[in-house]
Amino acid sequence: MDILDIKRYINNKTINFTELILNNYNRLGIDETDAVMLIKLQFLLNNNITFISSKQLSEMLSISTQTTSKRLKSLIEKGFIQMEIVEKQNGKQTESFNLDFLIESILKSGYERRSGNKETNNKTLESKLSKLFEEEFKKPLSVLDIQLITKWLNEDKYTYEEIKDALFDAVRARKLTIKYVDGILLRKDEKVDKKKYRNKTKISDLKKIWEE
């Protein structure tokens, strides 16, 4: 979803701009007063008012015109309010503003938060899998063993269940090596998608001599 989609959803009220700001302003490094000011500015845009007047805006808030002016300047400097010169239908030019960068910042903030959560989740899964492998192999894993588990999660996008099932398949076959588990995962991939199998990094790329 890009900014044009978001703006369209905001305009047709599918996305509530007020909730969007109230749920994200803290991550953007602004306070409640700035948040309310941005909500009021969006209200003006919804009413096709694209010229900012500190006096007009202060009348919609509980702060003075001077404070409103300082706040506006700060938000403009941060890029959350962007100014531009537009030409009206009568040919005259006028100053206008938009909140595009603000919306982009919220989108980016949400993406980074999701990415961070995903990374944290993978770290947790890596720890759980490492412990499970050590319990089944009855020995500590090497650094390269752990790196391979990380690769399975982050690069190959195997799920916890897929890796666990491959481990138990290896245990049942009495082949207690990471190499054997990797082979099981690769063979499953080959059945589903031969192209994906060909493009995978071979275990030999980790430059370790594996022994059955």
**pLDDT tens-place string over residues 126-143:** 888 999 999 999 988 887
For 149-173, write each residue's pLDDT tens digit: 888 988 888 888 999 999 999 999 9
CA distance 194 to 204: 19
Compute the 3-state secondary structure of the chain and give helix, strand, coil in percent, each to the nearest 5.
65, 5, 30
Region for residue 57 given its phi and psi (left: phi exceeds 0; alpha: psi -120 to 50; beta: otherwise): alpha
> Model's pTM, two decimal places?
0.49
% of residues, the chain, pLDDT over 90:
29
- Please give the residue that has the higher pLDDT: either 151 or 6: 151
| Confidence band for 177, pLDDT divided at 50, 70 and 90 | very high
For 53-99, write each residue's pLDDT tens digit: 899 899 988 899 999 999 999 999 988 998 888 777 777 887 888 88
| Confidence band for 45, pLDDT divided at 50, 70 and 90 | confident
Residue ranges, CATH 1.10.10.10, the chain: 3-98
Instruction: Please provide the CATH number assigned to the domain covering 3-98.
Output: 1.10.10.10
φ, ψ (nearest 5 deg) of residue 111: -65, -45
% of residues, the chain, pLDDT over 70:
81
pLDDT of residue 16: 82
Rounded to 10 deg, the angle between the 65-77 and 32-46 helix axes is: 90
Lowest-pLDDT choice from 6-10, 27-31, 37-41, 90-94: 6-10
- Please give the residue that has the higher pLDDT: either 200 or 78: 78
CA distance 144 to 154: 15
